[in-house]
Amino acid sequence: MNMERKKLRQLFAWLLVIIWMGVIFYLSHQPATASSTLSSGITEIIIRTLKTIAPFMDLELHAFHHFIRKGAHFFAYFMLGFLVIHALEMRHVKGMALALAISVLYAISDEVHQLFIPGRSGEVRDVLIDSAGAVVGIISYRIIWKVMRKREQ
């Protein structure tokens, strides 16, 4: 791959990281009422779908809503970790540690940011969930990268 194409690819990879960070920031910047309305709507859609597929399931809205909100944290940072390790182009342990550090620092800054949003709070528990998501995202990327490398050989 020529240098210009490689630089363009890396620039695009970092652009995806910045866009995803922007999505996280946008969602975190919503007041508690707007955030709760969004996650409640998603929860209701999921529950309706699950009841259609498996009508015997008894799902409590409040507990499932909490699960969806925390799952959203995990997913958001799974994607961030995945995108950051890809953009770094460092597939070894140092690269994985750097990707995790970037993701965790962003999670911390996100929770601090929420302290200034009406009705929101910064939670250490959410940073831990975010960090777990980033770890799984980074490890998933590494596994996919190794499998694809073996296929190329």
- Kindly provide the residue ranges of all beta strands, DSSP E only, lying in the chain, ordered along the sequence: none
**Average pLDDT value for the chain:** 86
User: How much of the chain, in percent, has pLDDT values that exceed 90?
Assistant: 50
Q: What is the dihedral of CA 38, 39, 43, 49, to 10 degrees?
A: 50
- Using the predicted structure, report yes or no on whether residue 74 has a pLDDT greater than 70: yes
List Cβ neighbours of 57 (8 Å cut-off, separation of 6 or more): 50, 51
Split at pLDDT 50, 70, 90, the class of 60 is low
Split at pLDDT 50, 70, 90, the class of 150 is confident
Task: Compute the radius of gyration of the chain from its Cα atoms.
Answer: 18
Stronger pLDDT, 147 or 120, i.e. the higher one: 147
CA 36 from chain centre, in angstroms, equals 18
Going from the C-alpha of 85 to that of each of 1, 89, 137, 145, the distances in angstroms are 20, 6, 9, 11
Query: What is the distance between the terminal CA atoms of the chain, rounded to a whole angstrom?
Result: 17
Its pTM stands at: 0.84
Mean pLDDT, residues 60-79 taken together: 81
Split at pLDDT 50, 70, 90, the class of 41 is low
Split at pLDDT 50, 70, 90, the class of 32 is low
Which residue from 93, 92, 126 is spatially nearest to 109, judged by alpha carbons? Answer: 126
pLDDT in tens, 82-131: 999 999 987 788 999 999 999 999 999 999 999 898 888 888 999 999 99
Q: Where are the domains of the chain?
A: 3-152
